[in-house]
Chain A
Amino acid sequence: MSLLTLDNVTIRFGGLTAVDTVNLEIKQGEILALIGPNGAGKSTVFNLITSIYKPTEGTISLAGKPLVGIPTHKIAEMGVTRTFQTIRLFSELSVLDNVKIGAHCRGKAGLFQAFTRLPGMKREEAEIEEKAIKALKFLDLETKCEEMAKNLSYGEQRRLEIARALVSKPKLLLLDEPAAGMNPQEKVVLMEMIRRIRDTGITIFLVEHDMKLVMGISERIAVLDYGKLIAEGTPLEVRSNNAVIEAYLGSGKFKSRIRR
């Protein structure tokens, strides 16, 4: 069953076609990786799914419901959360607050509750806190609760971003280069974590440059080059796909250098 469907999605910025008639299906419960050379349009795909950009043509739908034209802040409520290529944390706030804010779309309290502080509001606050601590435990950050987000190490910040995206129990988690800047050990831990997240029933769609990680965890890989989807399949299929090799290593005289 497909959870997210991209149907003929195209976006043009002036004369540049960043994403060109992409058709992609993400199945419920899988780990799908999107790879491609720099500037291929991978992050643009994420921005299209989260409605930061509106596609020039085509439709995107989540479990049958269209996502195009829905404001970005409603996307999280519908069950799609993300992390960013360049870390975007609420750096002057505590780790716990960061994750609590992640649960925003699952809360209901408004101004009235804020000022009256009725028991119902406090119950919701307690629930949010409990959820936040659970998410932090899941990503092994619970000892850093009171720390300010900007004081965490790089790898911890990456994990905090994932915790913030996880706390609202999304259906689909978009990870934009989660391993960027991590050392090999941290990458191994990250792979394990991504698998554990998937095992809780969350579908994962990630963009990544680190091939070891991509080949290690993804069940399917889609390859993007100059905005076009050039290949799709299991890691093994993609690795031996001629178009992919050409996109990464070039053609012509370079092709002859590839040892088969």
Chain B
Amino acid sequence: MKKLLNNWLIQVLLFLSLLGLTAYGSQIINDITSPYVLTIGLFIGINLIMALGLNLITGVTGQLSLGHAAFMSIGAYASAIATVNYHLPFLVGVLIGGLIACFFGIIIGFPTLRLTGDYLAIATLGFAEIVRVQFTNMKITNGAIGFLGIEGSTTFPIVMTIAVQTICAMVWLENSRNGRAMLAIREDEVASSAVGINTTLYKIQAFAIGAFCAGVGGALFAHTTTFIQPTDFGFQKSVDILSIIVLGGLGSIPGTIIGAIVLTAAPEILRPLANYRMIVYGLLLVVIMIFRPYGLMGGVNLRQAVRRAMMFPKKKQAGREE
């Protein structure tokens, strides 16, 4: 059984059937749930895709970035221009959004990744502001008025399928030579280069992949709201995504998933509280961070926990035999 599961072809088939199942399942959910709930689900998916990207940059590689909304806006505008001005199909537009964001991730990576910690955070923050101001003043983006008339092509099944793909890609990456190198950079840069890790290369890789995810998320966002303006992608948005990964637990993929669900759904669930909604929301964040200072899933190694849970009964049996 284990040998069979290790076969590459079988794994590809498993992956494809997982995607098929996701698409099919979410299509059913799509048909039976109310549009309101569905929209929340959509935004959970979009936030999840972007947060997974930031998790790779900040959680795994340890590079604090406050400019994730910039990559999101690049993806959103690029895809909107591609589908509206150039009449390209929706999914091609999403891909273009991701690739252009990725390109900018690399460009911005070279000069800024020589910085570390707080200094890098400020540099990325500055980059995000430049991008926002640039979009406000460009003709093709329709400036501050906002970009109108984007088709609302994003559907729940599409978002869910892409989200599942992103999750799989991140899990694979984390369990590869590249992922280990990124984790090592987070832990200790000097030691990393002493064992032969090209720290700049892997930081840029992380930034590029993270920016790609943000671009895809932005493109899906643009095609959900059908209208985007530069203020959608301000500092607040970067902080929102950052809080998802911090609340979930930096570097933890299950944590990011939970964080995206909690932080996207909470404002909607708290809606009956009317004026007190955001106060309670803020309180919720504070309380979670007090009780789980490393995030909801911080310091929880899921694989180890499952293995332990599976080992435990066996040990008990062995004890009985004695």
Contacts and interface: CB of A to CB of B under 8 A. Distances in A.
Contacts, number: 104
Contact of B181 (A50, A88, A101, A118): A101
Contact of B190 (A88, A102, A114, A165): A88
Contact of B195 (A114, A121, A124, A165): A165
Interface stretch (B32-40, B197-205, B278-286): B197-205
Contact of A114 (B177, B193, B194): B177
Interface string A149-187: 000000000000000110010000000000000000000
A115 B180 contact: no
5 contacts: A52-B190, A101-B180, A109-B176, A117-B172, A124-B177
Q: What secondary structure prevails in chain A residues at the interface with B?
A: helix
A125 B192 CA distance: 19
A114 B176 contact: yes
B194 A81 contact: yes
Contacts of B197: 73, 101, 104-105
A109 B178 contact: yes
Given A72-B194, A101-B181, A117-B172, 8 more contacts: A52-B190, A76-B196, A84-B190, A100-B180, A104-B184, A114-B173, A114-B176, A122-B8
B196 A90 contact: no
A114 B195 CA distance: 20
B268 interface: no
Contacts of B179: 114
A101 B11 contact: no
A25 interface: no
Given A90-B184, A119-B8, A109 B177 contact: yes
Given A81-B195, A92-B187, A101-B197, A113 B176 contact: yes
A90 B177 contact: no
B99 to A, nearest CB: 15
B183 A107 contact: no
A105 B196 contact: yes
A73 B196 contact: yes
A121 to B, nearest CB: 7
B240 to A, nearest CB: 26
Nearest to B7: A119
The interface size bin for chain B is 20 to 34
B107 interface: no
Contacts of B195: 76, 81, 101-102, 104-105, 164-165, 168
B61 to A, nearest CB: 13
Given A73-B196, A114-B173, A122-B6, A104 B191 contact: no
B275 interface: no
B187 A91 contact: yes
Contact of A117 (B8, B178, B193): B8
Contact of A73 (B172, B178, B183, B199): B199
B173 A115 contact: yes
B107 to A, nearest CB: 18
Given A91-B187, A92-B187, A73 B198 contact: yes
B16 interface: no
B176 A90 contact: no
Nearest to B180: A101
A88 B11 contact: no
A193 to B, nearest CB: 19
Contacts of A97: 180, 183
A189 interface: no
A258 interface: no
Nearest to A110: B178
Nearest to A102: B195
Contact of B196 (A77, A84, A109, A128): A77
The 7 closest A-B pairs by CB, nearest first: A105-B196, A76-B196, A114-B176, A90-B187, A88-B191, A72-B193, A109-B177
A117 B181 CA distance: 17
A69 to B, nearest CB: 15
Given A114-B172, A115-B172, A117-B11, A76 B194 contact: yes
B85 interface: no
Interface string B97-123: 000000000000000000000000000
Nearest to B304: A146
A39 interface: no
Contacts of B173: 111, 114-115
Contacts of B209: 111
A220 interface: no
Contacts of B130: none
Given A88-B191, A114-B176, A104 B11 contact: no
Contacts of A107: 177
Contacts of B198: 71, 73
A82 interface: yes
Contacts of B6: 122
B31 interface: no
Contacts of A84: 190-191, 194
A103 to B, nearest CB: 8
A226 B181 CA distance: 37
A104 B176 contact: no
A93 interface: yes
Contact of A111 (B187, B191, B205): B205
